[in-house]
Each structure stands twice: as C-alpha cells, then as structure tokens.
Structure 1
Amino acid sequence: MSKKIETDNTCNTSRRNLMKGTGLAVAAMSMIPAATATQAFAQTSEWDKVFPKSDKVDHQKVPFNNRYGITLIADLYLPKNRSGQPLAALAVGGPFGAVKEQSSGLYAQTMAERGFAALAFDPSFTGESGGKPRNVASPDINTEDFSAAVDYLGLQPYIDRQRIGVIGICGWGGMALNAVAVDKRVKAVVATTMYDMTRVMSKGYNDSVTPEQRGEALEQLSHQRWADAEKNMPAYQPPYNELKGGEPQFLVDYHDYYMTPRGYHPRAVNSGNAWTQTTPLSFMNMPILTYIAEISPRPLLLIHGENAHSRYFSETAFAAAAEPKELMIIPNASHTDLYDRMDKIPFDRIADFFGQHLA
C-alpha cells in the first residue's frame, strides 16, 4: 500500500517556478567558456571525510570493478558490534558531483552504526575511482556503478547476498532507481532528495526548456565534440558553486554545502571543480526513470524536503512507481538539508524500512 507522509503546512506554491527564466539548467551551462579540468587524485588512506569518524564502526577502503572494467574505490563501513552472522548490506551513492567523503559516506557510516554493512563509492570518472577523462558522467555507466557495488557486496562472506538494499542521494537517487529497476538482486531502495538528471538536463528545471532551446543546446554540444576531438581532450564547464551574486536560494544552499567547511572536499566536482562540457549529451535523450514501475514488488521509499526546489522529481517518481511505495516529506527541509543535517535526515525511518524489508 502506498503512503505519502507530508507536513500539514501548505507548501510554497512558487517552488516549482523557482528556476523559470533563469536559463537552460545543467545542459545550457556547457555553453559557458570552459574552466580548467579537475585532476585525478591519488588514493589516500587517511580520514579525509567531511564528517567525524564514528567509534561504533569499522572502516576500510576497498576497490572493485564495474562491468566496463573501470575500478571503483569505495569506503566500507561495518558495525563494530557485529555478531558473526551475515549482515544485511547497503550500496550508497550520491549526490551528483559529490564524492564518498561527503553525503554518501555520512549515510553509510550512520547506517553501519545501526547494524548494516554499508558501501559508499565514488562513481566512475570521479573522486578516487578510475576512468578517463575525469569528471564526466554517464546515465548508463553510473547506473552500472550501483550494480557493481552490489556485485562486490554479494561476494563478501560476511554479507547475506539475499539482503542487499540501495540508497541513492540527489542525482544518484535517480541512478539508484534506474539500477534497482533492472537489478533484481536488490531487495529495497531509498532515494533521498532525488534528482532525475536526465530530465533536468534535457528539459531544464520544472521542464521549462523549449524545443528551440533544446535544439540550440544540442547544436552547441555536438560541435563541441569536434573541438574536443581536435585537442584530444575535453573542455570543461565553469567551476561549480562559485557565487557571483543574485543566485536563487538553492544555488546559495549548494555553495553553503560544497564550498564551506561544512561539506567542501577537493575531489568533489561540486567543490569548485567542473564536469566536461559534453557531459549532458547522453543524458538528454535517455530518460532513466522510464521503467521505475518495475522496481515493484520490491519496496521503494522516497524522501524529500518540504521546501526543496527539487521536490517535484520525487513527486513525479512516486506517481509513476508501482506498489509498495512511500513518499516521505520532511517539514521545513531544503534540498541540501538532507545531505548532512542529522536533525532533518530521517535515519530512524530509513533503518526501520531496511530492517523490515531486508529481514
């Protein structure tokens, strides 16, 4: 049976129009002159997360390969008080443009404190994971990254491969739903503060991009391929989350997370680095939530902030999903509040959800 949990307060009716008139969202950002590419970073064994290390959890860095031969680097979190019985496990990814030292690691460590094995990974081409060029995204390969994490978890002797779930945050929430729809090994999925990156890149925020604007963006991106081919290297978008003044509140919120001590990490695309200019191409004609109903009969929990500019992504996904499903709206929460605000993220509900469905 589906459930939608929401505050009694009337949501600001203007939230869906927040980006009207501000341009072509992510895809159009590639029209701005390129910035310097982020360099690949050497793997480090030191604790370099943006959140404190828990004394209730064991942590180790692990590698594994995806189906395309790219080596992913992940942080594995295990409860210290485990009994020796195989554990239920969670693959955790996101947000889009983040690294495992940020939100996904916080979620993974917190779930390990609650008795789960949890694996937070850097997606292909980003962070400490492999793949060249750096800082490029793919709706196909990044969906595959989730399944590769499930591969890894299911091969560990201390994990029950019949009890594996997935958590996707922000843009990787959409990737998680796409992965779980096709990967029947996953028994339950949570997507929090979810973005459908294929929708926003192809249609802009609130689907505001006109066919003419879409055509112009694709024209520019198509010709950028020749420029990249001539130089044998990609051009990059401008640095992300550097404010110039007058930005909408949600961009200020992104800056407050990614560019301040709260969440800054030098390997994160969103911490003043950049995606390749042509990253939007594969997203613009590949809608990743087409088969979301095929997650059923496995349970789906969507969590979003009441005041998040992105809330409509979860509402649309909830409407398209089949039973069993639940949409949980967090009162007075913005999009980025669900990245790291421990008083906003409903970890009790998430733990109960997986405790029930990975039993």
Structure 2
Amino acid sequence: MSKQIATADTCNTSRRSLMKATGVAVAAMSMIPVATATQALAQTSSWDKVFPKSDNVDHQKVSFKNRYGITLAGDLYLPKKRGNEPLAALAVGGPFGAVKEQSSGLYAQTMAERGFVTLAFDPSYTGESGGEPRNIASPDINTEDFSAAVDYLGLQSVVDRERIGVIGICGWGGMALNAVAADKRVKAVVASTMYDMTRVMSKGYNDSVTPEQRGQTLVQLSQQRWRDAEKGNPAYGPVSLELKGGEPQFVVEYADYYKTPRGFHPRAVNSNASWSLTTPLSFMNMPILTYIAEISPRPVLLIHGEKAHSRYFSETAFATAAEPKELMIIPDANHTDLYDQMDKIPFDRIGEFFGQHLA
C-alpha cells in the first residue's frame, strides 16, 4: 500500500549558451579539465572524506569492474560488531557530480553503523574510477555502475546476495530506480532527493523547455561534436559553482555544500571542475524512469525535502511507480539538506525500510 509521509526526522559565449540551453543548472552539470584530471584509482589510504570516520565501522578501499570493463573505485563499510552469518548489503551512489567521499559515503557509513554491509562508489569517468575521457556521464553506463556494485557485493562472503538493496542520491536516485527496474537481484530501493537527469536535461527544470529550444540545443550539441572531433578531445564548461551573484537560491544552496568546507572535495565535479559540454547528448533521448513500475513487487522509498526545487521529480516518480511505494516529504528541508544534514536525513526510517525488506 502506498504511503505519503512527512517527517521531521566555454569558456566563451557559445559554450556558456550551450550549457544554458540544456536546461540544466550549473550545479547539476558541473571535473577537472583534461590537463589536470584526477588519475583513476590513484587511491589514498588515509581518511579523505568530508565527514568524520565512525568508530563503529570498518572501512576499506576496493575496486571492481562494470560490464563495460571500466574499473570502479569504492569504499566498503562493514559494521565492527557482526557475527558469522552473512549480512544484508547496500550499494550507494550519488549525487550527480559528487564523489564517494561526500554524501554517498556518509549514507554508506551511517547504514553500516546500523548493521548493513555498504558500498559507496565513484561512477565511471569520475573520481577515482576509471574511464576516459574524464568527467562525462551516461544514463546507460551509470545505471550499469549500480549493477556492477551489486555484482561486487554479492561476491563477498560477508554478504547474503539474496538481501541486497540500493540507495541513490540526487541524480543517482534516478539511476538507482532505473537499475533496480531491470536488475531483479535487488530487493528494495531508496531514492533520496532524487533527480531524473534525463528529464531535466531534455526538458529543463519544471519541463519548461519548448520543442524549439530543445531543437536548438541539439543543434548546438551536434556542432560541439565537430569542434571536439577537430581538437581530438572534449571541451569542458567553466568550473562549477563559481558564483557571480544573482543565481537562483537552489544554486546558492549547491555552492554552500560543494564549495565550502561542509562538502568540498577536490575530486568532485561540482566542487572543482565541470562536465564535458557534450555530456547532455546521451541523456536527451533516454527517459530513464520509463519502466519504474517494473520495480514492483519490490518496494520503493522516495525521500524529498519540502522546500527542495527538485521535489517534483520524486512526486512524479511516486505517481508512476507501482505498489508497494512510499514517499516521505521532510519538513523545511531543501535539496542539499538531504546530502549531509543528520537531523533531516531520515536514517531511522531508511534503516527500518531495509530491515523489513531485506530480512
């Protein structure tokens, strides 16, 4: 039975116009230009997260390959107090433009404190994961990244492969729902402060892009392909979230997370770099939530902030999903509050949800 709950718990003008034409805010479409890109899997053994390390969780760096042969980097979290029986596990990804040292790692560590084996990972082409060129996204490959994380978890002796769930945050909330619709090994899914990236890139915020504007965007993206082909490498937009004043409030909120000590990480696209200008191309014709109803009969929990500019993504997904489903609207929370604000992220409910459905 469905539930809806509230809880307290480029650089030149043409490049700038191309970014604007996609209908995606700087925050949503903003890694380092090729010359200074982080090398894949140049992993550090020191604690490099934006959140403190838990004394109740064991942590280790891991790597695994997806179906396309791209090596992904992950952080595996295990509860220190665990018996000999295999545990339920969660694959955690997102937000769009973030790395595993940020929000997904916080979710993963917190759920490990609650008794789950968890894996936060960097998507293909970003962070410490492999893939060239750097800082590109794909609705297909990034959906596959979730299933590759499930592959990895299910091969671990400490994990019961019949009790695996998924958490997707922000843009990876939509990827998570898409992955779970197809990957019947996953038994339950949570999407927190979810973005449907294919919808926002193809239609703009609140579906405000006209067919004429969409056509103009595709012309510009197509012409950018010629420029990239002539140069032999992709062009990138300006560094993400360098505010000039006058930006929409939600962009200011993104900057307050990604560009300040609260959430800044040098490997994150949204903190320190930008996506390739042609990244929107593969999102324009691939609506990833088309088959969301096929998640059923496995349960879906959608969580969104009352004051989030992106709330409509979860509300639409909730209306389209089949039973069993639940939508939690968090009072007074904006989009980025659900990245890291421990008093607003409903970890108790998330723990109960997976505790019930991965039992």
1:284 corresponds to: 284
Classify 1:7/1:161 alpha carbon distance in 2 versus 1 (closer, same or farther; 3 Å). Answer: closer
Indicate the SS of the match to 1:270: helix
Q: Distance in 1 between matches of 2:347 and 2:27?
A: 34
Q: Which amino acid aligns with 2:66?
A: N
Preserved contact between residue 92 and residue 108 of structure 2 (Cα < 8 Å): yes
Residue 40 of structure 1 corresponds to which residue in structure 2? Answer: 38
Deviations 1:58-106 (A, max 9, x none): 0000000000000000000000001121010000000000000000000
Report SS of the residue matched to 2:272: coil
TM-score relative to the length of structure 1: 0.93
1:19: which partner in 2? none
1:181-234 CA-partner distances (Å, limit 9, x unpaired): 000000000000000000000000000011111111110101111111111100
Residue 183 of structure 2 is aligned to residue 183 of structure 1? yes
Match of 2:65 in 1: 65
Q: Give me the whole-angstrom Cα distance separating, in 2, the residues matched to 1:345 and 1:149.
A: 23
Q: Distance in 2 between matches of 1:277 and 1:223?
A: 11
Q: Is the 8 A contact 1:27 1:280 kept in 2?
A: no
Q: Match for residue 17 of structure 1?
A: none
Are 1:323 and 2:323 an aligned pair?
Answer: yes
Residue of structure 2 equivalent to 1:18: none
CA RMSD of aligned residues (A): 2.0
Question: Which runs of 5 or more residues in structure 2 are unaligned?
Answer: 9-19
1:227-280, Cα deviation, whole Å (9 max, x unpaired): 111111000011111100001110000000000000000000000300000000
* Distance of 1:159 and 1:30 partners within structure 2: 34
Cross-structure match for 1:302: 302
Distance 1:249 1:304, change over 3 A: same
Is the CA contact 2:241–2:255 (under 8 Å) kept in the aligned structure 1?
yes
Task: Provide the rounded CA distance (Å) in 1 between the counterparts of 2:212 and 2:194.
Answer: 27
Q: Distance in 2 between matches of 1:86 and 1:129?
A: 27
The one-letter code sitting in structure 2 at the alignment partner of 1:100 is K
1:123 aligns with 2:123: yes
Aligned equivalent of 2:14: none
Query: Which residue of 16, 22, 25 corresponds with 2:23?
Result: 25
Contact 2:21-2:213 at 8 Å conserved across structures: no
Q: Distance in 2 between matches of 1:24 and 1:201?
A: 6
Query: Aligned-pair distance for 1:6?
Result: 3.0
Matched residue SS, 2:264: coil
**1:350–1:233 distance in 2 versus 1, CA, 3 Å:** same
Provide the rounded CA distance (Å) in 2 between the counterparts of 1:48 and 1:101. 7
1 CA distance for matches of 2:29 and 2:358?
Answer: 45
Change (3 A) 1:52 1:329: same
TM-score by length of 2: 0.93
Asked whether the 8 Å contact 1:106–1:340 carries over to 2, the reply is yes
Whether the 8 Å contact between 1:89 and 1:118 is mirrored in structure 2 is: yes
Distance in structure 1 (CA, Å) of the matches to 2:26 and 2:194: 21
**Structure-2 separation of matches of 1:72 and 1:30:** 22
CA contact (8 A) 1:241 1:255 kept: yes
1:24 offset after TM fit, Å? Answer: 4.6
Write the mapping of 1:1-359 to structure 2, written as runs, cut at 5 A. 1-6=1-6, 24-26=22-24, 39-41=37-39, 42-359=42-359
> Is contact 1:73-1:129 (8 Å) kept?
yes
Could you tell me how far apart the structure 2 residues matched to 1:281 and 1:275 are? 12
2:11 maps to which residue?
none
Paired residue secondary structure (2:99):
coil
Tell me the secondary structure at the aligned position of residue 63 of structure 1: strand
Deviation at 1:46, TM superposition (A): 1.1
Q: Can you give the 5+ residue segments of structure 1 that lack an aligned partner in the other structure?
A: 9-21
Q: Deviations over 1:259-307 (max 9, x none)?
A: 0000000000000300000000000110000000000000000000000
Give the partner amino acid of 2:234: P
- Asked if 2 retains the 8 angstrom alpha-carbon contact of 1:71 and 1:129, the reply is yes
Instruction: Give aligned pairs, total.
Output: 345
Q: In structure 2, what residue type is equivalent to 1:48?
A: D
What SS is found at the alignment partner of 2:260? coil
Q: Is the 8 A contact 2:3 2:326 kept in 1?
A: yes
Which amino acid in the other structure matches residue 218 of structure 1?
A: L
Query: Which secondary structure does the structure 1 equivalent of 2:219 belong to?
Result: helix
Measured at CA, do residues 28 and 273 of structure 1 come closer, stay the same or move farther in structure 2, by a change above 3 Å?
closer
- Give 1:45 deviation, angstroms: 1.3
Which secondary structure does the structure 1 equivalent of 2:88 belong to? strand
Identity, in percent, stands at: 81
| CA contact 1:92–1:120 (8 Å) conserved in 2 | yes
For residues 267 and 321 of structure 1, do their structure 2 counterparts lie closer, same or farther at Cα, with a shift above 3 Å needed? same
Task: Tell me, yes or no, if the aligned pair for 2:142 and 2:175 is still in contact at 8 Å.
Answer: yes
User: Once the two structures are superposed, what CA deviation does each residue of 1:304-347 show, in whole Å capped at 9, x if it has no partner?
Assistant: 00000000000000000000000000000000000000000000
- Aligned-partner Cα distance in 2 for 1:301–1:66: 26
Question: Does the Cα contact within 8 Å between 1:37 and 1:273 map onto a contact in 2?
Answer: no
Deviation at 1:38, TM superposition (A): 5.2
Check whether the contact 2:301–2:326 (CA below 8 A) recurs between aligned residues: yes
Contact 1:30–1:237, Cα closer than 8 Å, also in 2: no
